[in-house]
Amino acid sequence: TEEEMYNNESAGPALDEFLDLLGQRVRLKGFTKYRAQLDNKTDSTGTHSLYTTYKDYELMFHVSTMLPYTPNNRQQLLRKRHIGNDIVTIVFQEPGALPFTPKNIRSQFQHVFVIVRVHSPCTDNVCYSVAVSRSKDVPPFGPPIPKSVTFPKSAVFRDFLLAKVINGENAAHKSEKFRAMATRTRQEYLKDLAENFVSTATIDSAVKFSFITLGAKKKEKVKARKEAHLFSVGAITWSVCARDFGQSMDIDCLLGISNEFIVLIEEESKNVVFNCSCRDVIGWTSGIMSIKIFYERGECIMLSAHDNCGEDIREMVQRLEIATRGCETTEMTLRRNSLGQLGFHVNFEGIVADVEPFGFAWKAGLRQGSRLVEICKVAVATLTHEQMIDLLRTSVTVKVVIIQPHEDGTPRRGCSELYRIPMVEYKVDSEGQPCEYKTPFRRNTTWHRVPATAGAPLSRGSPTQGPDRLQCQQILQQHQAVIPRSTSFDRKLPDGSRLSGSGRTPILPRSLFRRSPFLFLAPC
C-alpha cells in the first residue's frame, strides 16, 4: 500500500549505493542552490537531501528515507506533502521485490513512474533494469529503453536515467490535465493584469518640456527599422484558417507567435486549440497562401491565409526565423542505385545517421543530421520505425521533406528532445567485444579505438566526453546494452532477414517492489 511505501524508515546498502551513483548528499541547512521547496534554515524537512546537476539542469530529489519520519502518523504527511506533489517518481527495488502498480498511489500530480530494479547489489557485477509506467495522456518520451537489457553501474547509466526523468516531466506537461492547468493559470494572470495594472492615462508623444539648446545642432529623426514589429517580445497575431485533421475541416483562428510560445485561438469559441513552445519548433514549409509548421518529433499544424492576405505568410516566416531555431524545409526526390539502394541510413527518430559519399542521396543534398518529416506525403511522426523503413524500401518514387541540420551538423530537435543520451556505434571483434566506436552527427566520423583498460572509478559529475565516458560505454556494450542507432533500407528483405530494434520505449504498467527497499525519488 501507499502507507507502507511512505513508512520505510531507513535506506539499505543497495539503496545507498544507488544514491551515491545518482547524486551527492548535501546538508540542507545553509544550502544556497536549488532546494525544491525543502527547508534550508530550520531542518524541518530533514537534515540532508540528494542533489545533482545534468547539463543546464539542477535536480534536487525528494528521497523518502531522507524526509522526516513521524512514528505516530501512518500517512506520513510530511513526506507525502513533497513526494505526492511531484510529477516524476523513481521507484527503487531490491531483488525479490513484490509487484508495483501505480493504482496504489493516491496523487493528482504523480503521472510518471520510473522503476529501477537492482541486480547483484554491492558487488562488482551490480547492474540495473529500468521500466516506465505513465498516465495514458502522457505522450511517450526518450531516451528509449533497450529491450531485455540491464545497465551496469556507470556514469552512462546515470546520464541515461537523469535524461529519462527530465524528459518524463517535460512530456507530462503536454498532457491534457497539465495543459488545462497552464491555460487556466495564464488566463488568471492576464485577467489580473487587465483589471489591476491598466492605466487610463493616454500616452502623449509630444515633447512636454523644451529646453534652450543655444545653437546646438538639431538632431535628425531616427528612422524606424523596417518591420520592427516582428522583433516584438510579445505575441504578434494573424487571422488564419487552421486545418482540423480529426474532423477534416478548416477552423477560423487567430495565430499568435511570441518570443516564447505559438498559440492558436479559435475565433468562435475563444478557446486555445493549440500551443507549443517556440523552442519546440524545428522547421516549416511555406507556400504562397499556406504554411505548415513542424514541431517536437515532426508533428505539424497546417495554416492558410485568408483571401488576398498572402503577405501574412511572409511575415509568419520572418517571425519564425526570429523567434525559433527552425528553418525552411527542403523537398527532395531520391533515386536508387543499380542495387536498389537509396544510399543513406535513418534511425528511429527519422534522423539521417549516415549518407553514402557522392551517392544519389548525397548529390541531391541529403546530409548527416538531416531530419525526415515527410516520406511520400506521409508524416514521419505517425510512422513506427519499421513502417518508415518499409515505405522507403518499397516506394517506386521516394519523395521526402527534410529539415536541414544546424551549422555544426547536429540535427534540429524540440526542447523536450534535447536532453538525450548520444548513441555510439560500435564495431565488435571476433569474440563479440567492442573494439572501435564512432559518434553520429559529428563532422569527424572516423572510427576510434576502444581502450583495453578496465573501467575507472565513477564520478558523481555528469561527464559528456573523455575516457571515463568511453570506458562506461565499453562496460555498457559488454552487458549487451545495445541501442539500435540506424537501419539501412536497401531492397525489400524477407521478414526473417530484417534488422530488429525499433527504438520504441516499452511502457510497463506493472513492476516490482517490496516495502523495505522501496524508495520515492522525486526530481524537481
Q: Mapped to the 3 state alphabet, what secondary structure does 141-165 carry?
A: CCCCCCCCCCEECCHHHHHHHHHHH
Asked if pLDDT for residue 4 goes beyond 80, the answer is no
Q: What is the pLDDT of residue 42?
A: 87
How far CA 93 is from CA of 16, 69, 90, 157, 514, in Å, comes to: 12, 20, 10, 16, 7
Residue 110 phi/psi, 5-degree rounding, is -70, 105
pLDDT in tens, 260-289: 999 999 999 989 999 999 999 999 999 999
In the chain, what are the domains?
A: 2-174+509-523 (3.40.50.11210), 229-327 (2.30.29.30), 330-415 (2.30.42.10), 424-482 (no CATH)
CB count, 10 Å around CB of 515? 13
Residue type (1 letter), 318: Q
Q: What is the pLDDT of residue 499?
A: 32
Tell me which range, 70-84, 146-160, 432-446, 483-497, is most confidently predicted by mean pLDDT: 146-160
Q: What is the pLDDT of residue 52?
A: 92
Candidates 380, 403, 406; CA nearest to 392 is 380
Eight-state DSSP code of residue 497: G
pLDDT in tens, 447-479: 556 554 444 433 333 333 444 444 444 444 443
443 or 232: whose pLDDT is higher?
232
Residue 452 zone, left/alpha/beta (φ > 0; ψ -120 to 50; rest): alpha
Alpha carbon distance 408, 494 (integer Å): 38
Of 165-179, 192-206, 225-239, 437-451, least confident by mean pLDDT is 437-451
Of 77-91, 196-210, 305-319, least confident by mean pLDDT is 196-210
Q: What is the pLDDT of residue 284?
A: 95
| Structure confidence at residue 435 as a pLDDT band (50, 70, 90) | low
pLDDT in tens, 482-523: 333 333 343 333 333 333 333 333 333 323 232 333 344 555
CB-based contacts of 447, cutoff 8 Å, min separation 6: 427, 436, 437, 438
Q: What is the pLDDT of residue 510?
A: 29
**Per-residue DSSP letters for 407-463?**
TTSPPP--GGGSS-PPP-EEEE-TTS-EEEEE-SSSS----EEPP-SPPPPP-SS--
Burial class of 148 by CB neighbour count within 10 A (0 to 12, 13 to 18, 19+): exposed
Q: What is the pLDDT of residue 215?
A: 52
Strands 112-119 and 127-134: antiparallel
Alpha carbon distance 481, 147 (integer Å): 9
Residue 475 zone, left/alpha/beta (φ > 0; ψ -120 to 50; rest): alpha
| Structure confidence at residue 436 as a pLDDT band (50, 70, 90) | low
